[in-house]
DNA sequence: TATGAATGAGCATTCATTCAT
DNA sequence: CATGAATGAATGCTCATTCAT
């Protein structure tokens, strides 16, 4: 995005430029197929400088994953207002998720596709991030169960499975929404809320989950 | 599995041995990181023989993807009895799916992880297979809607999104079931049917979807 | 030329088929770039059979060179009638040479181009053949000098150089005649006889060497 | 020649070292049989550096051919003084030609033997160079005819054939002079001038072409 | 006589990485 | 801070050749 400035620059800026380039390349080609050459060229610097700043290809990939993971989880966290009911919190989290993945497709590709297909250091990083999100969703489900006055609530393993299912559905819909022209992140979130909260059975009976009317948040795409 | 027979063998046998090895290696490392060396060694043959029979690394990967995709879709197709109601068909399909992915984890890794992260010939192959499955699920949803006497049924795009969500949830649960000790394919399928058919809302109200009692199909299929 | 017969055949026939194929392939691609694969396929037999008959690639090339060299020197020898004057003998030899090289371009390519560019066993073979031809030409020049009543005749080294020059000119004209549409072997031979016998000086003075009228030999192309 | 300097050096120097090595190896073995390994070793560098600077084996061969072709045609051009009569110009050109080929036998081998036996990019390059030389010779012959007051001069095709013959004779004599101890480039040129200008017929009559006495050009050029 | 099965050795090329300046 | 010069180690692929049948 935008012309890369060349010449001497503070280290922090250079590092961000490099990571921007890395996200592009890794997102498109993956870790193994990407060459340091290409990364340095896209970042507008020489190859040795890449090594000077970020020791090795592995460190580069790790840094890239961490930055993108932090950006994604941060976006979701910031999108959720804590006080609301569980389904409203989930709704807001999903909207933030779909919005972020739509805006950062390469970053999402790194996290969802590339990082998982390469040996241990990276897969673990992704697993941690994903576990965090799944735990968040599981917590919401437990809260919802509690709100519905169920004691004992759903068994723990069931909750874990349901959260896994929901997150998997979200990941799938993110790709679908990005690939299907005309599907907004709002629609993707609504589809998923209907599916997850109301279930197909209720949908058959014309009892959808209804998304709340949003007064004035107007974030571009949503 | 087990030591590979050595010595002279007919071509067809060797080709299967090779594809078995390829699934292992590609499933673990991915296309780019896998070396032909390694594959040949695991197959118990010399490298040139791999080229003699399967031409190139790309052809090898393609053949591997095709074989595994055919095995998976075939398993699901064979697991579903056509006459039943939509939810029963979905239930059976999911059981077959989770059983197959649990039994062939490397094959599933090739299809779900590796093939999607490498250039066009492979991603397209996978996209085609996945589209087939999504279409099957979408059809089931439409049938269910028709069975519930709804006219007009759900809008087409909604159905597509729901099917995507369901398939994504299944993919996610397959990994979860494989990674979580003690989770059977039956439980994974039950979790997903609850999630998909009843929805979280109904689950909160203690109205789960109930899996059918299976009379005499035994442990054979999971 | 013509469909290759397949199935069991006497060894001698098979060997000629193989050498025919070898001449084609070596003539076009050269020794190193030609593959045994290709040769076997063009000969219509399996690779091991090639080894059974003609031990190795080197032997194959050697056999090919020998056959083509014998054919060429034989054609020249047969074309020359011994009793004539030196210039007539040269004239007839050149006609035979140009005719043969025009009819067997791949064989000529093997001898003139390919065999000389590959290590010692082959270059020596070619050098021997060429030396034979050069010696024949040198002898003709000596005879001509004797006929002109010169004693002492030209110094030996001069004769050798002149013969080399004449043969080189012939080689060059062979390629030129093959590449230039409309130039017959007769014209090529006439050009060379003029050049060699009369010399540019005489040609400038309009004193060409005149080719004899050939009564009834009419060999197609000449 | 002599041990190659090692250590860090500017790119231009390394490239010349590489091309020097390439001429040796290609001249001896030809394009196909030469290995990049061998070339790098002879140049005193590592293989990757060859690729870094000259891209590929094909580019290497092309660069080598171009350098040697330019050197040869340049030497001939520089050896000829334009004002002289046609035979004197030819004489000087031949002297330069034989001198150059004697001093650069590997380069000459690359041009005359190796480059012609390998596929199209190279053969075309050589054909162009050779055509340039043949055209130069043909022009000299035409000038000579004009000087001799002949109108109409020789037919165009005859001139082309004569030039081809002369160039072929020169090529042949270059190899002969290099292989025959004691034959200088001057003698080779004299032999060829006699052959070409006087012709065998005149030589038989003791009417050779006489090379000019060279006053003070010394041994420098041959 | 003839072939399908199989391989050891080599080769062009690439890439992550280092070092001297 | 930044780079031009340089390389060790792999990797995909080919080929001449052998052997069991």
D199–C204 CB contact, under 8 Å: no
Taking every pair of Cα atoms in chain D, the longest distance, rounded to a whole number of angstroms, is 65
Closest CA to A36 of A60, A13, A20: A60
- Are residues C128 and D128 in contact, defined by beta-carbon separation less than 8 angstroms? no
B165–A169 CB contact, under 8 Å: yes
Burial of B134 (0-12, 13-18, 19+ CB in 10 A): buried
| Residue C7's pLDDT band (cuts 50, 70, 90) | low
- Note the pLDDT of residue B8: 87
Which of B43-57, B138-152, C183-197 reaches the highest mean pLDDT?
A: B43-57
Contact of C146 with chain D, judged by CB distance below 8 Å, is answered with no
- Are residues D165 and D172 in contact, defined by beta-carbon separation less than 8 angstroms? no
- Note the pLDDT of residue A85: 86
A201–B199 CB contact, under 8 Å: yes
Residue numbers in C 28-67, CB below 7 Å of strand E: 45-49, 52
Residue with tokens 């190859």: A47
* Residue ranges in chain A assigned as alpha helix (H): 11-29, 36-43, 47-53, 57-79, 86-103, 105-109, 120-147, 156-179, 185-193, 199-204
Model confidence over B6-35: pLDDT tens digits?
678 999 999 999 999 999 999 998 999 999
pLDDT over 60 (residue B220): no
Residue with tokens 């004009």: D146
| Residue D218's pLDDT band (cuts 50, 70, 90) | very low
Model confidence over D39-92: pLDDT tens digits?
999 999 999 999 999 999 999 999 999 999 999 999 999 999 988 888 889 999
* Positions of strand E less than 7 angstroms from a protein CB: 1-21
Chain A: list its partners (3+ Cβ pairs within 8 Å). B
- Are residues C184 and C222 in contact, defined by beta-carbon separation less than 8 angstroms? yes
| Residue D150's pLDDT band (cuts 50, 70, 90) | low
Model confidence over C108-166: pLDDT tens digits?
999 999 999 988 889 999 999 999 999 999 999 888 888 776 555 577 778 899 999 99
Domain D61-204 homologous superfamily, CATH: Tetracycline Repressor, domain 2 (1.10.357.10)
* Residue ranges in D80-217 assigned as alpha helix (H): 86-103, 105-109, 120-147, 156-179, 185-193, 199-204
B116–A113 CB contact, under 8 Å: yes
Model confidence over B75-109: pLDDT tens digits?
999 999 988 888 889 999 999 999 999 999 999 99
**Domain spanning B64-204, CATH class:** mainly alpha
Contact of A118 with chain B, judged by CB distance below 8 Å, is answered with yes
User: Smallest Cβ distance to B203: which of A32, A154, A195?
Assistant: A154
- Note the pLDDT of residue A104: 96
Distance A72 CA to F2 C1' (A): 33
A144–B171 CB contact, under 8 Å: no
Taking every pair of Cα atoms in chain B, the longest distance, rounded to a whole number of angstroms, is 65
Arithmetic mean of pLDDT over chain C: 87
User: Smallest Cβ distance to A191: which of B145, B148, B158?
Assistant: B158
Model confidence over B145-179: pLDDT tens digits?
887 766 556 777 788 999 999 999 999 999 999 99
- Nearest Cα of chain A lies from the Cα of B151 at a distance, in angstroms, of 11
Contact flag for C and B (3+ C-beta pairs < 8 Å): no
Contact flag for D and C (3+ C-beta pairs < 8 Å): yes
- Are residues C208 and C202 in contact, defined by beta-carbon separation less than 8 angstroms? yes
C200–D144 CB contact, under 8 Å: yes
Distance C97 CA to F14 C1' (A): 39
Contact of D199 with chain C, judged by CB distance below 8 Å, is answered with yes
Higher per-residue confidence, B209 vs D52: D52
- Note the pLDDT of residue A214: 61
pLDDT over 70 (residue B126): yes
Closest CA to B139 of B125, B128, B152, B153: B153
Within 8 A of C191 by CB-CB distance, chain D residues are: 158, 161-162, 165
Task: Tell me which of C172, C194, C196, C202 to substitute to probe the interface with D (most D C-beta atoms closer than 10 Å).
Answer: C172
- Are residues B201 and A162 in contact, defined by beta-carbon separation less than 8 angstroms? no
A195–B29 CB contact, under 8 Å: no
Which nucleotide's C1' sits nearest to the alpha carbon of B34? Answer: F11
Domain A65-204 homologous superfamily, CATH: Tetracycline Repressor, domain 2 (1.10.357.10)
User: Smallest Cβ distance to D191: which of C147, C158, C201?
Assistant: C158
User: pLDDT of chain A along its 222 residues, tens only?
Assistant: 444 455 567 788 888 889 999 999 999 989 999 999 999 999 989 999 999 999 999 999 999 999 999 999 999 999 999 888 888 899 999 999 999 999 999 999 999 999 999 888 899 999 999 999 999 999 988 888 887 766 555 777 788 999 999 999 999 999 999 999 999 999 999 999 988 888 777 776 767 776 666 655 444 443
- Average pLDDT (D92-109) is 96
- Note the pLDDT of residue D209: 76
Within 8 A of D29 by CB-CB distance, chain C residues are: 119
- Nearest Cα of chain D lies from the Cα of C126 at a distance, in angstroms, of 13
- Nearest Cα of chain B lies from the Cα of A64 at a distance, in angstroms, of 17
- Note the pLDDT of residue A220: 42
Contact flag for A and B (3+ C-beta pairs < 8 Å): yes
User: Smallest Cβ distance to C161: which of D158, D162, D176?
Assistant: D176
| Cβ neighbours for A30, distance < 8 A, ≥ 6 positions apart | A113, A114, A117, A118, B30, B32, B117, B118
**Domains of chain C, residue spans:** 64-204
- The answer to whether the C-beta of D199 is closer than 7 A to strand E is no
B161–A169 CB contact, under 8 Å: no
| Residue D4's pLDDT band (cuts 50, 70, 90) | low
- Average pLDDT (D141-153) is 74
- Note the pLDDT of residue C27: 94
Helices A156-179, B156-179: axis angle to 10 degrees equals: 130
Contact of B167 with chain A, judged by CB distance below 8 Å, is answered with yes
- Note the pLDDT of residue C211: 67
d(CA B222, CA B187): 10
| Residues of chain C above pLDDT 70, percent | 87
| Residue D119's pLDDT band (cuts 50, 70, 90) | confident
Contact of C118 with chain D, judged by CB distance below 8 Å, is answered with yes
Nearest CA in chain C to D34: C32
C33–D29 CB contact, under 8 Å: no
Backbone angles phi, psi at B212, to 5 degrees: -70, 150
**3-class secondary structure for B59-72?**
HHHHHHHHHHHHHH
Chain B: list its partners (3+ Cβ pairs within 8 Å). A
pTM of the model: 0.86
- Note the pLDDT of residue A200: 75
- Note the pLDDT of residue D2: 42
A146: cis peptide before it, omega within 30°?
Answer: no
D172–C191 CB contact, under 8 Å: no
Higher per-residue confidence, A96 vs C85: A96
Which has the minimum average pLDDT: B5-9, B45-49, B133-137, C123-127?
A: B5-9
Backbone angles phi, psi at A4, to 5 degrees: -80, 130
Closest CA to A32 of B119, C143, C169: B119
């Amino acid at each position: 995005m935008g012309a890369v400035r060349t010449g001497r620059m503070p280290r922090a800026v250079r590092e961000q430029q490099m990571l921007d380039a890395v996200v592009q390349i890794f997102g498109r080609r993956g870790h193994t197929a990407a060459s340091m050459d290409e990364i340095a060229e896209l970042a507008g610097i020489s190859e040795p400088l890449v090594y000077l700043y970020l020791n090795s290809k592995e460190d580069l990939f790790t840094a890239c994953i961490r930055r993108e993971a932090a950006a994604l989880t941060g976006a979701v966290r910031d999108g959720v207002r804590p006080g609301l009911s569980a389904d409203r919190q989930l709704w807001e989290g999903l909207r933030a998720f779909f919005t972020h993945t739509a805006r950062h497709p390469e970053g999402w590709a790194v996290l969802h596709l590339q990082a998982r297909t390469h040996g241990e250091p990276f897969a673990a990083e992704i697993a941690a991030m994903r576990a965090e999100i799944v735990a968040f969703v599981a917590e919401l489900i437990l809260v919802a169960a509690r709100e519905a006055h169920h004691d004992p609530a759903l068994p723990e393993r069931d909750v874990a499975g349901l959260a896994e299912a929901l997150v998997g559905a979200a990941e799938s819909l993110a790709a679908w929404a990005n690939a299907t022209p005309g599907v907004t992140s709002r629609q993707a979130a609504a589809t998923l809320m209907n599916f997850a909260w109301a279930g197909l059975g209720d949908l058959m009976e014309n009892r959808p989950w209804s998304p709340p009317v949003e007064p004035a948040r107007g974030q571009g795409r949503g």
